[in-house]
A and B are shown apart, each in its own frame.
Chain A
Amino acid sequence: MSRPQTTHARRESPVPVMNLARMEEADAFAQTVKEFRQGKYPEDMFRRYRLQHGAYGTRMTSDYAMIRIKMPAGQVHPSQLERIADLSEQFSINSAHISTRESIQLHWVVLEDVSEVLRGLAEVGLTSREACGNAIRNVMCSPTAGVCPAEVFDATPYAQATARFFIRNPLNQNLPRKFKFTYSCCEQHGMARIADIGLIPQTRTVDGRTQRGFRVFVGGGLGNKSYVAHQLEDFTPEENILYTSIAVVRLFDRLGNRKNLARNRLRYLVNQMGWDKFRNLVLKERDVVRATQSVVVKMPVEPPIPEITRRVHISHRTGETPAGYARWLKSNTFAQKQDGYHTVFVGLEAGDITSTQLRALSEIIQEYSSEGTGRIGFNQNIAMRYIHEDDLIPLYSRLLEAGLAKSGALTMATPIGCSGTTSCNLALTNSHRLAKEIQREFLSRDLDNDDALRTSSIKISGCPNSCGQHGIATIGFYGGGGRMGHDMYPSYMLSLGGRADAEAVLGQNILRVPAKRVIPVILRIIEIFRERAQPRDDLKSWIHRVVMNGDDTTIPEIRNMLSPLTTPPTMDEDPDFYADFGSDSSYHTKTGRGECAA
């Protein structure tokens, strides 16, 4: 394959860098760690402080931290990707992890080095403040907002304004528990119904004028117990978004359960009180907020992004189209509402990316994205937008060279896997590695190319806490331990039929599947689908019909068909069955103190 010859004019990104960082917080963090080590800072207080600054503990040790870097609305600048590459080499494991909530995480950072990472982040406008702990977490926005063919208007500036308004805001320093905002571009591409507050743009016409507003959803979320959110009212005009947000946060602060850590997310409050009652409280509180704000709080929405023009460059291709291009084009890209432009998703495994790849990505974005920034997606992935259609082939070649061109990014072939036993204290299984194993199997079988499968999803959590979002997966798994006599083996609960779109519903638990049988079980489900489904069905809609109505087959029947695959062999017959992915010794569960509630 000959390398396409491309000359590009690099230029500054037309999108300004949003800077929420404060250098003095890095110095204060270093000082606090010293005092903590000298015993001058009580453990519990230190933990809260650490979480408020975006640093989690690590599996079976408090000497290492995981730093969660917030990317408001998922937007990330090339210079920021380069800096994260540097920091991952200096202070972490040479790889970074892109999370499902549009953050980038550095794992296994020595606690004493966290302040240095915070410094390095602050220099490029990044912060991990309030990325963990009982605070408003990273404000998310669809990676397709602004380019989605189905959207009404671009929600990105609203998401960024929300982030800017709440960070370090006194309202948000001691909530009963974490709180999540998610903006979607449209009904189909988003997670608005599984957030504490989810918003989808809509407009209406009043006196011949178009008015912008949102559909606001309140009280959803995934976790040990998951809920789908309620819509607050038909139409919330844009000038009411901030008042509504403040009202809900204030109510949560006042009424949320501060005693029972397992039941203190907003959704439990809503559920306990009943939606109608809670809704009335929100509407009243909103009036109070509006009347009592001493200054007019306006949504600090930035001026709209200047019109985007194609990067000036001459791109002459030599040689043939690289192998795999058509497959990649189909499964990793889509045409934007802007004529001639595409959005491209980078193919990763469970969100992991090396420092070298981060640097390559930074360069590729500068050269090919007319917008000049990256956008982190919902699925442990990253998107580049405003790629001119004439540049897709050279872009693909560049991604191939960097090992970033795995196909299937927008299909079921790329599962989500939470951290699991790679780093999380509560993990029961290596969900992270399992996601990678499934992906390799799917790609080797060309399943990313299968139109009936592409809209489905596989999501895996290493324990019931749902960080891997198994509840909204077509095929979901959460980890646990199985037992055969005295011997334990890693295993997962299989759930089917979850989704987070307009027909949002949580998956139904089917049966427990040993870790080493997860791949055969998924392949069997696909076979059953092919045997039973109607010609027009895709896997996602078919499973939905089965789970909701028992069409074509029933859950007990599926359970019966799968259960022969789940029978444990004895240890002598198959010792590998008793070891989790990524380890060669036999399995035992081991967990430490979780910090999700801290």
Chain B
Amino acid sequence: MRRIVSDVDEVRSGIRDRSLKVVDVRMPAEYKAGHIPTAMNLPLRTLLKDDSPETVARLAGSLGIDRATEVVIYDDTFGALASRVAWTLEHMGHHTVSLLENTYSQWSSLGLETDNAIPDASAAAYNPVMNDDILATHGDLESPNPDTILLDNRERLNYLEHHIPGAMNIPYRMLASRDGILRDPQEMRRIFENRGIRSDSHIITYCGSVGTLSGLAYYALRTAGMDRTRLYVRSFKEWRDLDKPVEKQPDANYWDLSAE
């Protein structure tokens, strides 16, 4: 099985022997102020402006990435932004993409090297081969396979307020460990299994708008061995824009318990 998460040592040795490309998906200003050595900047914000395969392929190519490049992605937003970019590449048939096990802040607080030099890249040709097995669309949700488990990865109160009918709530905060973006796979598996999610389950994840929180959940499930997982990347925002039915937890004023 390919690597889903790369640990700090793997990344450092990959940087040393130039066997991988590191991608930083934060905003350009954050990137310029300091990043992991050799990292290229591919801001999620830029990708989301147009995430069509042609545009993303051009972007990746301009950073010297092709479909065979070993890529490790990180962010500073608990892995959710990195996940969305990783998923996009994976969707284009890129099999050697992984997430850094921690965030930029965690990396630097471990005292690991950072840099603000911007590396040169010689452009590469990126040829997408679409892998729609990991994509879900609203059509898939309207007539779901009865065995499909639908996961909503927003926070609990938002879920209670409204969600796609039949969805189960796994808030994205459940996925992280103390010092990394994802829990240990065994622990992750235990938590999912408590919820009745098994390694042969068909799963679709979604979140509020652009598939970041649910992207992280997508990778959490993959690390736990749940390989039949798809991302509804247009998520609840599209579902609402299309005026599809929603479900609400009725007859309770749960918002008034929040001290926010």
Contact = CB atoms under 8 A, between A and B. Distances in A.
B258 A30 contact: no
A325 interface: no
A423 B252 contact: yes
A422 B253 contact: yes
B208 to A, nearest CB: 15
A581 to B, nearest CB: 8
Nearest to B160: A108
Contact of A60 (B196, B251, B255, B256): B251
A95 B173 contact: no
Contact of B252 (A59, A110, A357, A436): A59
Contact of A422 (B155, B256, B260): B256
A547 B213 CA distance: 58
Contacts of A423: 252, 254, 257
Contacts of B156: 92-94, 108
Nearest to A58: B252
A401 B196 CA distance: 42
A417 B256 CA distance: 11
Interface string B217-253: 0000000000000000000000000000000011111
A257 interface: no
Interface in A74-103: 89-95, 97
Nearest to B258: A95
B215 interface: no
A436 B169 CA distance: 28
B250 A60 contact: yes
A107 B254 contact: yes
A594 B246 CA distance: 29
Interface in B190-209: 191, 194-196
Contacts of A491: none
Contacts of B79: none
B255 A582 contact: yes
Nearest to A96: B259
B249 A348 contact: no
**Most chain A beta-carbon contacts within 10 A, residue among B173, B194, B254, B256:** B256
Contact of A432 (B157, B256, B260): B256
A346 B171 CA distance: 29
Interface in B122-162: 155-157, 160
A93 B252 CA distance: 14
A185 B141 CA distance: 60
Contacts of B260: 94-95, 354
A115 B258 contact: no
A422 B194 contact: no
A396 B194 CA distance: 44
B194 A95 contact: no
Contact of A430 (B173, B194, B253, B258): B253
A89 B173 contact: yes
A116 B251 contact: no
A30 B194 contact: yes
A582 B254 CA distance: 9
Contacts of A349: 259
Contact of B254 (A30, A93, A436): A93
B173 A432 contact: no
A113 B194 contact: yes
Contacts of B157: 93-94, 108
A353 B253 contact: no
A115 B194 contact: yes
A493 interface: no
Contacts of B194: 30, 33-34, 112-113, 115-116
B169 A90 contact: no
A433 interface: yes
Interface string A583-598: 1000000100000000
A421 interface: yes
Nearest to B178: A86
Nearest to A109: B156
A59 B160 CA distance: 12
A37 B255 CA distance: 28
Contacts of B252: 58-60, 421-423
Nearest to B250: A60
A97 B196 CA distance: 29
Nearest to A105: B257
Nearest to B169: A110
A352 B250 contact: no
A354 to B, nearest CB: 5
A53 to B, nearest CB: 15
Interface string A33-72: 1100100000000000000000000111100000000000
Interface of B: 155-157, 160, 169, 171, 173-174, 191, 194-196, 249-260
25 contacts: A33-B194, A60-B251, A60-B252, A61-B249, A90-B171, A91-B174, A93-B157, A94-B156, A95-B258, A97-B257, A108-B157, A108-B160, A112-B195, A113-B195, A115-B194, A116-B194, A352-B258, A354-B258, A357-B259, A422-B253, A422-B256, A430-B253, A432-B253, A433-B256, A580-B253
Closest 10 CB pairs of A and B: A352-B259, A433-B256, A582-B253, A89-B173, A59-B252, A422-B257, A582-B256, A95-B259, A112-B194, A354-B259
